[in-house]
Structure 1
């Protein structure tokens, strides 16, 4: 069977079946719309909230990707738009999973935005062959790299910049070289399993877990979009014991203090003491601010994107006051984190920076500070030593006086 367009071009059975169905529906609409003048911005009629139409030029159609071109040739280049009561121009197109919308203060702005978004929608994924009739066909799913980059765009909008940066680094360094040139449906469980085992064999168990988590997210989304089975379903990783950090011993802590005293002015020494006596994460150093000479305020770095920044205050303790004379908070705030990590590793080869945070929390508990108050100072949402439920903690608002009294307990030097 053959079918003909209005311009008498022949469509064979190999053409997109959806196009034929779309043509039949839109031909009837086109016939009705042809009776209506394409009302433009300078029309004198009451046009607010009425559905209007505009046509693409031949050049605009020619510049479109092939699939989009077929859609609009079928409808004689017509797109519906309206003018709202507040004077905005809005254009929309719906087709299966596609929904394109654009608006503007004037007609040309709306039209330009609509064309850009339409092209962006189709060009952002590089399809080997586009067909909605067989979404589970190997040859009809996008390349892994194109789809993973789309997933990254979503993450860029929904995660913190630091989290997104790590996703992007892992993709460019590891996933892109490993799966470049392969379509989503062509990647099998054995491909992923062997890839992850090779990483584990290098002794990089944590890296393998992170990559597996990313692949799970990408293929779960692809399963919904293209009705293809996820190769991650039966992928396994060998169990390994996560290395847990340890607080510095009191002797090691004294060694740290003496080192900072002897090397005052050396970059990193101020920051090391701040991390040790206030329990900050290294990423929080750049946000520190002294409040009333009694508190160190910082912005909690573990908050998720969209939840807003959360400020927390940690009081000056007697232990800190004994070393405060050698701490310059401005220098600590501006420290280079790589230099800081190197300084820590040189001083304590078996410890890492985050263990200074463990040290602060450990000392506070050893000195008898209320565990819920320690949670508040550290910015933790969970603590095995705290029995109170999250709901109860949500109703607890410790007074400044109470926290300062608790802080006075931290006097062990």
Structure 2
């Protein structure tokens, strides 16, 4: 009799657990585990708060089936009009939460299997043309300002903007010729007050992002000349390379706005700061640098990311490379001619 009551109470408890309670438990579990960064956890909380809970929060966990999940995905696409990649990310979070519910014994199977999802579109970015690069370089040569140096670092080293703004002088080793990437800025939201977000200095994007980047002679010269223009507060080991007069960092958005103005002045259209990273990768490949090394310099965990997303061969490079086909055809033709002569 006691066993029957216990089983009945468990079933009743499962029926009464709401999705809203499940979301809260899952987020607490993630926080207690300590395996994800605070900025990642905040991203999970935002997805639950803005997208998942408003639609599914009032459901009981046991009532969420494949039909409910498919309807949720359709709402994100048709009513909220979110892009396919965002929808897939949010769905991935829901699937992870429902897997947790399955492990906890609240449901028998994860209802997120076999759901029709929109195809995600990869944002590939672009590489600046040789003409655009030339125009940009001419503008950058006029003044060695902190924000111009940020652009130079992205253009000549392939660093992410969050890594560039987090660089300190102690991360620059002129003797060995390396830039050591050990930190990056993350933007986090604030629950209250007028300020909605703040920049948090943390570790880079992934383990592979913590790396040593070899300096070209050009960027080394730029940094040394720029260093000479700074005051005592700006040249301390702990001072930021891209710094204000008091040695503090520049906001990522300030640097991005500066780059947009540079592009306008240079007559470069539809260009983002991150495209400088694409440009560096493409220039490195066309210079003959091994793709594996380019991938390591960029801080990619997988070489396929570099190959599929960051390499954009220029028209000039394509024309030069296709000449190899002409040379090959000539060799084949000559070999065939020699064989015929030998037979005759």
Q: Same fold (TM over 0.5)?
A: yes
Task: Give 1:229's aligned residue.
Answer: 109
Distance 1:250 1:323, change over 3 A: farther
Question: Structure 2 residue aligned with 1:206, among 54, 70, 85?
Answer: 85
Distance 1:256 1:178, change over 3 A: farther
Matched, 1:355 2:275: yes
Matched, 1:271 2:173: no
Q: How far off is 1:311 after superposition?
A: 3.9
Task: Give 1:158's aligned residue.
Answer: 35
Whose radius of gyration is greater, 1 or 2?
A: 1
Q: How far off is 1:211 after superposition?
A: 0.5
Distance 1:131 1:282 in 2: 55
Matched, 1:336 2:251: yes
Distance 2:119 2:296 in 1: 33
- C-alpha contact (below 8 Å) 2:126/2:275 kept by paired residues: yes
Residues 317-359 of structure 1: per-residue CA shift (max 9 Å, x gap):
1343464445886226822112233334453552333222222
Residues 60-95 of structure 1: per-residue CA shift (max 9 Å, x gap):
xxxxxxxxxxxxxxxxxxxxxxxxxxxxxxxxxxxx
Question: Structure 1 residue aligned with 2:66, among 162, 175, 189?
Answer: 189
Distance 1:349 1:217, change over 3 A: farther
Distance 1:216 1:149 in 2: 15
Question: Structure 2 residue aligned with 1:292, among 141, 160, 174?
Answer: 174
Q: How far off is 1:219 after superposition?
A: 0.7
Q: With CA pairs under 8 Å and 6+ residues apart, which has the higher RCO, 1 or 2?
A: 2
Distance 1:264 1:253 in 2: 17
- Secondary structure of 1:335's partner? coil
- Secondary structure of 2:303's partner? coil
Q: CA RMSD in A?
A: 3.3
- In structure 2, the gaps of 5 or more residues are 183-202, 231-239, 308-344
Q: How far off is 1:243 after superposition?
A: 3.0
Distance 1:343 1:178 in 2: 40
- In structure 1, the gaps of 5 or more residues are 2-12, 20-129, 388-413
| Structure ranking higher in helix proportion | 2
Equivalent residue runs for 1:7-406 within 5 Å? 17-18=5-6, 131-132=9-10, 134=11, 139-140=15-16, 142-156=17-31, 157-201=34-78, 202-225=81-104, 226-262=106-142, 264-265=144-145, 268-285=147-164, 286-288=166-168, 289-293=171-175, 294-299=177-182, 301-303=204-206, 311-321=210-220, 323-324=222-223, 325=225, 330-331=241-242, 334-346=249-261, 347=263, 350-384=270-304
Distance 1:386 1:184, change over 3 A: closer
Q: How far off is 1:207 after superposition?
A: 1.0
Residues 359-386 of structure 1: per-residue CA shift (max 9 Å, x gap):
2222112111233332332222322499
- C-alpha contact (below 8 Å) 1:371/1:385 kept by paired residues: no
Distance 1:310 1:209, change over 3 A: closer
- Alignment length, in residue pairs? 257
4+ long deviations beyond 6 Å: none
- C-alpha contact (below 8 Å) 2:209/2:300 kept by paired residues: no
- C-alpha contact (below 8 Å) 2:209/2:299 kept by paired residues: no
Residues 126-170 of structure 1: per-residue CA shift (max 9 Å, x gap):
xxxx932x27x8624x22122112222233321122222211221
Distance 2:127 2:43 in 1: 27
Distance 2:269 2:306 in 1: 32
Distance 2:130 2:74 in 1: 41
- C-alpha contact (below 8 Å) 1:199/1:207 kept by paired residues: no
Task: Give 1:405's aligned residue.
Answer: none
- C-alpha contact (below 8 Å) 1:223/1:229 kept by paired residues: yes
